[in-house]
Amino acid sequence: MNKVIMGKVRSNTQGEGGATLGTYLFDCLKKEGVTEVFGVPGDYNFTLFDTLEQCSGIKAVPTRNELNGGYAADGYARIKGLAALITTFGVGELSAVNAIAGASSENVPIIHIVGSPKSEKQKQRKLMHHTLMDGDYDAFRRVYEPLSAYTAVLTPDNAMIEIPKAISIAKRFRKPVYLSVAIDLVQQPLAMKVPKLEAPKTDESSLKSASKQARKMLKSSKRVVLLSDAKVKSWRLEPLVREAAERLKIPAASTVMGKGGFDETHPNYIGLYGGKLGSEKVREVVEGADCVVAVGYVPSDINTASETAKLNPKKMIVVQPESVTVGNQEYKDVLAQDMLRELAGLGLTAEEEIPAADHPYDSGQQLDGSRPLKAAEYYPLIQRLLQKGDIVLAETGTFAYGLSQVQLPQGASYIGQSGWQSIGYATPAALGASIAAPKRRVLLFTGDGALQLTVQELSSMMEYGCKPIVFVLNNGGYTIEKFLNFRVPVEEQPYNEIPGWNYTRLIESFGGNPYTERVRTIGELARAFREAELQREERLCLIELVADPMDAPEYLRRMSEELEDQE
């Protein structure tokens, strides 16, 4: 098992009313608000699915393959806070590896449950199907060790210790955890041991020291800005981050990975910070600040805009989930929520006025409905058509970079794999988000290349009554890869071309009577969007946008040029 520092575990004996390992596992998930479990049945996890069928208040949501099940669980967890996935031993769990790695990279907590061969067969090292034929039944758990915050093999004797412990770790570190159980042990009665877990706490001495140093830095700074990043969303820190900006009376910006973590309609919000690639006005405010309060900061190549972002660590207060760094001094064992409350309560306010927000698609110009679809025009249209409370999913590709610049309405949730960037993620994630929040409008923006990887889950959406509005950008291939591979002329990149599919006819073949429309102009897109809004109460809607293969949002163009300049 992975070595993880966390609260102590104490064990007591206590009756549990005849609970089995399986019923206890699903009861623990239900207590965390998990009411659906994604996955694919296989002969080593049948008892898990059979037990789940008998449990009230929680149900199985089978997906078309394990990779998609992992993506769906990821999207579900981003809305509800936690998700669960069931796969079978070997072939199933390895198919889900990419999705679980993405969840680890992006701080998304998923309880990954693997059904394995009978316990006696494992002890005897029998050569069973779905194995490497070497008698090693621990090989795949070891694969998952670096991808998970915790791994454990469940038995009736340890289940009441390991299951709560694994869930606690997943919630604390916002990472996947891995639990394996033999098929013959799922329905066995438990040894009654009930753990008591101690939640992590802030070290008051460290908090006091961090607060003192932060006060000094803030007091000596005339220009202060708050930068909201990815972990703000993962740790649900949005209200505290917003309060800190309000109380300090400072402007707030988001990173690409942190998009949606700060209300983009808030008067303190000034826009998205993207180094040289994004808004110059926002860049001037952030990089010209005497102090940057960065919350949940992830200094990745995406967030630093191909390393064009210029942030001086000596002028930063970096608040992480369980630590704070002021200048070059780190203070450990300080919970982010406690440090944010300290900052909000310092009684300091900025001296300068908060500048107006800069949103690239706020032009307000009248769009010519007869014009062919171009990124410079359909992104402003999308921004106008978004509504409060929407769930917006952006696929890795041109949509990810274009939508990053769109202003989100109040209460909207934004889902995208800005760090891991696995093409094909967004469609299954939209399934998970739709199931997690059936009353909210879900908008999926995906490309033709990405959709061809995971298109099967459109059938799952219709099977389970999900009614998102799906936008498919048909630009004839992997346009983003053509821009990133600037070393070779586009005509010499046949590997970035894809087969031409009829997406509106394809989805009709999945059944479910979807509403579909193919559009080529701005006017057609606006009309199709309005019609989809009327139709979505009854059925899934898919709008295919036929566009120029080399049309792209300005942010992506700038990134391609910057990467070429850096060669």
pLDDT, tens digit, for every residue of 420-434? 999 999 999 999 999
DSSP, residue by residue, 118-140: -HHHHHTT---TTS-SSS-SSHH
Predicted structure pTM score: 0.94
Residue 275 vs residues 233, 299, 502, 567: alpha-carbon distances, Å: 21, 12, 39, 18
Residue 6, pLDDT score: 34
b/e per residue, 89-112, with b = 16+ CB within 10 A?
A: bbbbbbbbbbbbbbbbbbbbbbbb
Distance CA 382, CA 392 (A): 11
CATH class for the region spanning 9-197: alpha beta
* Token pair 């694919």 in the structure block, residue: 40
| Res. 124: pLDDT tops 60 | yes
Distance CA 99, CA 93 (A): 10
As a whole number, the mean pLDDT across the chain is 93
Distance CA 303, CA 259 (A): 10
Q: Residue 312: which of 337, 291, 339 has the closest Cα?
A: 291
Q: Which two tokens stand for residue 91?
A: 């072939």
Residue 20, pLDDT score: 97
Angle between helices 21-31 and 159-173 (to 10 degrees): 30
* Token pair 């700074």 in the structure block, residue: 221
Q: Where are the domains of the chain?
A: 9-197, 204-344, 375-558
List the beta bridge partners of residue 318: 294, 325
| Res. 526: pLDDT tops 50 | yes
Q: Residue 245: which of 319, 157, 326 has the closest Cα?
A: 319
Residue 364, pLDDT score: 67
| Res. 68: pLDDT tops 90 | yes
Q: How many CB atoms lie within 10 A of CB 313?
A: 12
Are the beta carbons of 430 and 393 closer than 8 angstroms?
Answer: yes
Q: Is 138 exposed, middle or buried (0-12, 13-18, 19+ CB in 10 A)?
A: exposed
| Res. 368: pLDDT tops 90 | no
| Res. 179: pLDDT tops 50 | yes
Specify the higher pLDDT residue, 187 or 197: 187
Coil, helix or strand at residue 282: helix
Please report the sign of the dihedral spanned by the C-alpha atoms of residue 233, residue 147, residue 429, residue 81. Answer: negative
| Res. 24: pLDDT tops 50 | yes
Residues in the chain: 567
Give CA angle at 441 (435, 447), nearest 5°: 85
Which of these CATH numbers, 3.40.50.1220, 3.30.70.20, 2.160.10.10, 3.30.70.260, describes 204-344?
Answer: 3.40.50.1220
- Percent of the chain whose pLDDT exceeds 70: 96
Q: Which two tokens stand for residue 261?
A: 């973590």
The kind and range of the H/E element at 38 are strand 36-39
Average pLDDT over residues 392-415: 96
In the chain, DSSP finds a helix count (H) and a strand count (E) of 22, 21
Distance CA 55, CA 20 (A): 12
Assign 16 a pLDDT band (cuts: 50, 70, 90).
Answer: very low
Are the beta carbons of 76 and 437 closer than 8 angstroms?
Answer: no
Work out the widest C-alpha separation in the chain, in whole angstroms: 73
Which of the residue ranges 11-15, 307-311, 492-496 would you say has the lowest mean pLDDT? 11-15
481-491 pLDDT, tens digit per residue, is: 988 898 898 88
| Res. 289: pLDDT tops 70 | yes
- Do 375-558 and 9-197 fall under one CATH topology? yes
| Res. 4: pLDDT tops 60 | no
Residue 484, pLDDT score: 87
Coil, helix or strand at residue 90: coil
Residue 271 has phi, psi (to 5 degrees) of: 130, -170
Q: What is the CATH number of domain 375-558?
A: 3.40.50.970
Q: How many CB atoms lie within 10 A of CB 387?
A: 13
Distance CA 543, CA 530 (A): 11
Q: Is 350 exposed, middle or buried (0-12, 13-18, 19+ CB in 10 A)?
A: buried
* Token pair 């949940």 in the structure block, residue: 296
Are the beta carbons of 374 and 368 closer than 8 angstroms?
Answer: no
Coil, helix or strand at residue 96: coil
Q: Which two tokens stand for residue 442?
A: 């879900």
Average pLDDT over residues 49-66: 98
Q: Which two tokens stand for residue 309?
A: 């972002």
DSSP, residue by residue, 40-75: ---TTSHHHHHHHHH-TT-EEEE-SSHHHHHHHHHH
| Res. 441: pLDDT tops 90 | yes
Amino acid at 354: I
